[in-house]
């Protein structure tokens, strides 16, 4: 079943084309990579899916239902969560408060003092590896931990689809390896993942399929092996 | 400690002659405290600076002036609060979708807008500008303000500890992230703005009973916008005590200076605002919290609205 | 019919001339220096009172007073920026924080200036008449002093426009309006330029007030607020940061105000608000904005 379908997505900013007639689908349970040179329109696609931006034309369907033009909070409550390229955690709140927020306003809609809320927050924090930092202030964490926190917060909303925007940018090789493990274990929890990445090693090893964008247009799609041997892809990455 | 304060306040008129200066003074202090606390409920965590308190206060005043002859007092006060809530919710739903500065600009103008409307109404429809009203005795007004004070303290505390309060703080940090965490940002902002206005309306409706004559200029005086903002900025908005402290200090100062230097004291308050903005960005609370944390190490950060449960 | 149309058109222009001037001043302060100066109206009030004082105490006509008032108020604005807003600018963690803080500081400034005026001139309403004879323009009759204010506004506006386009400082201002940090990197002495903008803003406010006072309106220390609001609305109408837009927007709003006033006096402010609300809802970037 296609958990996400995107058809003919067009978005312009003034005279600039961000995305042009982008079509793709994501099947439930997949890990799909979205790659392309800087400015290719990848984050714009995420913004259009998550409701942060309104497309000029085109359709977004989630589990068969049209969600084009829905507000972000509504889309979250339907089951799509995301992280941001520039980590947008709530810096002056504690780590557990960040995650709690996701639990309270995501699909579970719990109440602050309930035990399930506490319990689940702890479970998610342990899962992403931040178990010992519950009461730390978000702004005091190192970058790699802040990224994990953002993922934890997204997971707390009980998504069926998770959009990760460059979650490995700025990480050391060790941190990248750990992040790769985390992404795989998220999929094992039953969450479908679409990830924007520049770290090729990660994309190649964990993605089932890869979509390549360039200047807002989809230029290639397929398994990692197929994409890597695609002539156009090679040209744009080496020729620039 | 709160119980002690409650007992103290409730018992005040008992051991002090009823129409005395003290009761009136404390009523005035409570008025400013409530206004400052109400303002901090919304503007503290979200960072949206509203300059509209005078509009909501004035709506309450007029509600009271118009209805106090025909309806029982508590109902009149409640209506004053509700009218302000509705006004704030409507204005908020429209303007809070925009950048903070547009919101601030509109709230700044709201006071004048409402004042102009009321003035026009009185000139063209009622026939006379201003109206005479029957005033109540100071003790009744005093108890009214005490009740409102405790109500706003309760509301403020409940909000901070609830998921609503968490949502407000997240909005203050990053609206986009909050929306993507499932928070209905526009609704939360509008409702909170409304709640804050509700208490200001209640206050206006209650304080109206101390006067015998009102007109648009006195009901919608921009001072009722300036003072709560000054007090909350000066006192701080993180913990509950902060706006209370700021409001108490300034109302006492106003009391002290108003008789001796009627024009100079506002000049001084204006200068105080300038000094606080430049030198004390987190207000008195920032200074106090820094002093409390001295020697304990670690960063001092007054996260507005971050009351520990 | 033509007379009616002319009456409205010219009347609107006359009202609009001053609106345009004070809006450009406000726009310089907000669009370039990024200070939402809600005390703007207080300087308009000060300009009006200075004109009144000079006229009634020293017999100096307002047009001559302009020569004295302009540099005086420019200097005041320049100094205020230096000692109040510049420190704020350097100490604020972000542009958004600075916007909020500078607005609050302006709020404080509002009360300081208003009360200084109350101390100096007291609360009673003042006024004076100057050039109050009627002029007949193709059937529509207007007071000479109002025509003078229009002419003065246009001259001042054009002069400033020439300054912006023609001089180096003007170009620096335009650069700063686009991007202050980039301008600084290109060698513009940004602190000085921003202070200049603020000074020009104050100067235009005062000149606007001076011209206003000529039109026999009632002067009181609390008159500033409504003009601040008008300036805000005009600047939003014309597009934030768009100086030309502010100028034209002033005339548009003046026209609207004049029409509404002739139909239902006392509701012109309300009409401005409706426009404001409409703009915010539909096109916050302004009719002429980018």
Out of A110-119, C10-19, C253-262, least confident range: A110-119
Query: Is the pLDDT score of A1 beyond 70?
Result: yes
DSSP string, B95-156: HTTS-HHHHHHHHHHHHHHHHHHHHHHIIIIISSSSEE-PPPPHHHHHHHHHHHHHHHHHHH
Contact B222 C225 (CB under 8 A): yes
Is-contact B82 B225, C-beta < 8 A? no
- The A residues from 181 to 200 touching B (CB cutoff 8 Å) are none
Q: Which residues of A touch B184 (CB under 8 A)?
A: 71, 73
Domain positions in chain C: 2-282
Per CATH, is A1-73+161-174+191-240 categorized as 3.30.70.360?
Answer: no
- The C residues from 46 to 105 touching B (CB cutoff 8 Å) are 84, 87-88, 91, 96, 99-101, 103-105
Q: What is the mean pLDDT of chain C?
A: 88
Helix (H) or strand (E) holding C167: none
pLDDT tens digits, one per residue of C231-241 = 999 999 988 87
For position B9, what pLDDT does the model report?
Answer: 65
- What are the Cα distances from residue C252, in Å, to B157, C17, C148? 48, 10, 19
Per-residue confidence band for C128, with pLDDT thresholds at 50, 70 and 90 = confident
Task: Work out the burial of residue A64: count CB atoms within 10 Å of its CB; fewer than 13 is exposed, 13-18 middle, 19 or more buried.
Answer: exposed
In percent, the amount of chain B with pLDDT more than 90 equals: 55
In percent, the amount of chain A with pLDDT more than 90 equals: 74
Burial C69-99 (b: 16+ CB within 10 A, else e): bbebbbebbbebbbebbbebbeebeeeeebb
**How many structural domains compose chain B?**
1
- Average pLDDT on B178-189 reads 95
Does B118 touch chain C if contact means CB atoms closer than 8 Å?
A: no
Helix (H) or strand (E) holding A133: none
Domain positions in chain A: 1-73+161-174+191-240, 80-158
pLDDT tens digits, one per residue of B52-79 = 999 999 999 999 998 888 888 899 999 9
pLDDT tens digits, one per residue of A74-84 = 999 999 999 99
Query: Is the pLDDT score of B302 beyond 70?
Result: no
Structural domain that includes position B77? 22-292
For position B305, what pLDDT does the model report?
Answer: 39
In a domain, B303, yes or no: no
For position B309, what pLDDT does the model report?
Answer: 29
> Residue A93 is nearest to which of B169, B179, B185, comparing CB atoms?
B169
β-pair type (A57-62, A2-13): antiparallel
Report pTM: 0.90
CATH architecture group of domain C2-282: Orthogonal Bundle (1.10)
pLDDT tens digits, one per residue of C53-65 = 999 988 888 889 9
Q: Which residues of B touch A77 (CB under 8 A)?
A: 182
Is-contact C181 C9, C-beta < 8 A? no
In a domain, B146, yes or no: yes
pLDDT tens digits, one per residue of C171-180 = 888 888 878 7
């Amino acid at each position: 079943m296609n958990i996400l379908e995107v058809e003919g997505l067009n978005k312009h900013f003034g005279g600039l084309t961000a995305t042009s007639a982008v079509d793709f689908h994501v099947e439930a349970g997949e890990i799909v990579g979205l790659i392309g040179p800087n400015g290719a329109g990848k984050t714009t696609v995420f913004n259009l899916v998550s409701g942060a931006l309104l497309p000029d034309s085109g359709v977004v369907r989630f589990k068969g239902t049209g969600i084009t033009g829905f507000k972000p909070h509504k889309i979250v409550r339907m089951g799509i969560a995301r992280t941001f390229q520039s980590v947008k955690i709530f810096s002056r709140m504690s780590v557990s408060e960040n995650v709690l927020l996701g639990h309270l306003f995501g699909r579970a809609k719990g109440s602050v003092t309930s035990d399930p809320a506490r319990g689940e927050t702890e479970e998610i924090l342990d899962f992403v590896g931040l178990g010992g930092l519950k009461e730390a202030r978000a702004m005091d964490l190192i970058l790699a931990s802040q990224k994990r926190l953002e993922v934890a917060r997204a997971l707390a909303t009980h998504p069926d689809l998770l959009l990760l925007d460059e979650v490995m940018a700025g990480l050391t090789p060790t941190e990248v390896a750990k992040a790769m493990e985390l992404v795989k274990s998220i999929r094992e929890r039953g969450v479908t993942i679409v990830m924007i990445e520049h770290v090729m090693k990660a994309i190649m090893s964990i993605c089932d399929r890869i979509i390549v964008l360039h200047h807002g247009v989809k230029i290639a799609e397929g398994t990692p092996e197929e994409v890597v041997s695609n002539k156009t892809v090679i040209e744009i990455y080496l020729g620039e | 400690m709160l119980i002690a304060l409650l007992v103290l306040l409730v018992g005040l008129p008992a051991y002090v002659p009823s129409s005395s200066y003290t009761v009136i003074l404390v009523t005035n202090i409570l008025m400013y405290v409530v206004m400052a606390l109400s303002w901090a409920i919304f503007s503290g965590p979200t960072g949206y600076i509203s300059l509209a308190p005078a509009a909501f206060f004035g709506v309450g005043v007029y509600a009271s002036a118009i209805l106090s002859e025909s309806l029982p007092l508590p109902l009149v006060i409640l209506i004053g609060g509700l009218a302000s809530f509705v006004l704030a919710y409507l204005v908020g739903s429209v303007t809070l979708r925009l950048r903070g500065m547009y919101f601030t600009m509109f709230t700044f103008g709201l006071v004048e807008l409402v004042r102009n409307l009321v003035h026009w109404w009185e000139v063209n429809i009622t026939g006379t500008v201003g109206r005479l009203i029957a005033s109540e005795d100071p003790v009744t007004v005093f108890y009214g303000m005490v009740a409102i004070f405790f109500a706003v303290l309760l509301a403020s505390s409940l909000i901070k500890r609830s998921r609503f309060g968490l949502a407000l703080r997240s909005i203050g940090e990053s609206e986009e992230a909050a929306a993507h965490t499932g928070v209905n940002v526009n609704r939360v902002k509008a409702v909170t703005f409304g709640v804050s206005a509700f208490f200001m309306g209640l206050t206006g409706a209650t304080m109206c009973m101390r006067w015998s004559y009102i007109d648009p200029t006195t009901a919608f005086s921009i001072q009722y916008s300036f003072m709560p903002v000054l007090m909350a900025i000066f006192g701080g908005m993180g913990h509950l005590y902060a706006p209370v402290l700021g409001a108490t200090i300034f109302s006492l100062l106003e009391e002290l200076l108003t008789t001796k230097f009627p024009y100079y004291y506002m000049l001084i308050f204006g200068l105080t605002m300038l000094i606080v903005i430049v030198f004390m960005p987190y207000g008195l609370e920032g200074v106090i919290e820094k002093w409390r944390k001295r020697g304990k190490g670690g960063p001092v950060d007054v996260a507005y609205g971050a009351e520990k449960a | 019919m033509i007379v009616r149309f002319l009456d409205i058109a010219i009347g609107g222009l006359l009202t609009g001339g001053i609106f345009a001037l004070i809006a450009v001043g406000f726009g310089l302060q907000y669009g370039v220096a990024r200070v939402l100066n809600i005390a703007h109206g207080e300087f308009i009030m000060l300009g009006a009172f200075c004109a009144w004082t000079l006229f009634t105490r020293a017999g100096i006509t307002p047009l001559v007073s302009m020569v004295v008032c302009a540099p005086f108020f420019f200097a005041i604005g320049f100094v205020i920026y230096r000692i109040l807003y510049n420190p704020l600018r350097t100490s604020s963690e972000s542009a958004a924080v600075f916007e909020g803080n500078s607005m609050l500081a302006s709020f404080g400034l509002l009360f300081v200036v208003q009360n200084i005026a109350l101390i100096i001139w007291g609360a009673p309403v003042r006024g004076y008449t100057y050039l109050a004879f009627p002029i007949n323009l193709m059937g529509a009759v207007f007071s000479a002093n109002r025509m003078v204010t229009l002419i003065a506004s246009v001259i001042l506006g054009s002069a400033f426009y020439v300054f912006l386009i023609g001089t180096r400082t003007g170009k620096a201002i335009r650069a700063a309006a686009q991007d202050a940090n980039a301008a600084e990197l290109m060698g513009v002495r940004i602190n000085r330029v921003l202070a200049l903008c603020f000074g020009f803003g104050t100067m235009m406010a005062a000149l606007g007030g001076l011209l206003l006072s000529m039109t026999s309106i009632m002067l009181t220390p609390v008159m500033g607020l409504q003009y601040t609001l008008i300036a805000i609305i005009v600047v939003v109408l014309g597009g934030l940061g768009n100086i030309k837009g502010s100028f034209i927007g002033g005339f548009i709003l003046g026209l609207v105000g004049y029409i509404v006033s002739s139909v239902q006096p006392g509701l012109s402010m309300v009409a401005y608000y409706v426009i404001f609300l409409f703009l915010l809802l539909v096109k916050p970037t302004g009719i002429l904005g980018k």
